[in-house]
Amino acid sequence: MTRYISPLRYPGGKARLAGYIKHLIDSQHPRPTHYSEPFCGGAGAALKLLTDGTVDHIHLNDADPGIAAFWRSVFTKTDEFAARVRAADVTIDSWRKAADTYAAPLGKDDLELGFATFFLNRSNRSGILRARPIGGFEQKGKWKIDARFNREALAKRIELLGSYRDRVSLSQQDGRQHLQSLEALGENVVAYVDPPYLVQGDRLYMDSLSSEDHTELASVLSRSPIKWFLTYDAESRITESLYPDHRCIQFEISHSAQVRHLGVEYAVFSKGLRVPEFEGVIGKGDYLWLTV
């Protein structure tokens, strides 16, 4: 299995949490066979858990029209999408067309919008959809726009994922609505909730959440009968006002937005979730329980 499974790049991508999530899923009684990401983005952890056999079925949801169109294209129009990747003209002119398509998604079909989103993700700095292209518009930097656009390797990832299409459910809902839609699965699902950051979320994501949205998400999760855990940027509001009655741990994780560095985040756990002992949320490094 290739080291990278998701075709998308994400700053602070959570694929590296997959090992811990597997440990967490294995600790539940009964053991869930479904796994959901209501704010899936690059879906790095979900795809690892699916392809390594940890879960039987994954649910990928994202409210961003471009991200949702991308995943629908990957799993329902696999061959056509892979062909577009292999034939991609990775230039500034193509970048401008993709940026225009992503900014005005209405009326675009999934292949057009999904590929534009993918193109921006692979050609922008740190994979941020609203960022500038690698190397700048003048292409005078050390790295050029196609530095992260290995056509053949990316096409093969897409073809691999397409072979799992019968074990993937896709949706384009508000994350809160998606969580409510999972309730019929009961104890047979675990949801990993990774919403846009409280701070700088509007810079990194098209569908960032307002303060009221974050509060409503906390309310939905607190009432939800399913098992879930959540990660956020390290903000005092998490433990003081949003999730004061839930277990919360502070942990370190590598981020790559612009410059790779070790960031600090919080993880919050639902009351019905068995949380196993561990060296750290990602297997090593410093961690600190804030509430238990």
Closest by CA to 129, choosing from 74, 64, 188, is 64
Residue 133 located in a structural domain: yes
Residue 215 located in a structural domain: no
Could you read off the pLDDT of 204-227 as tens digits, one per residue? Answer: 445 678 899 999 999 999 999 999
Residue 86 located in a structural domain: yes
Residue 42 located in a structural domain: no
Could you read off the pLDDT of 167-211 as tens digits, one per residue? Answer: 999 999 999 999 999 999 999 999 999 999 887 544 444 567 889
Mean pLDDT, the chain, integer: 91
- Identify the domain containing residue 97 by its residue range: 64-164
Residue 112 located in a structural domain: yes
Query: How many domains in the chain?
Result: 1
Q: pTM for this structure?
A: 0.92
Residue 157 located in a structural domain: yes
Residue 259 has pLDDT above 70, yes or no: no
Residue 142 located in a structural domain: yes
Residue 70 located in a structural domain: yes
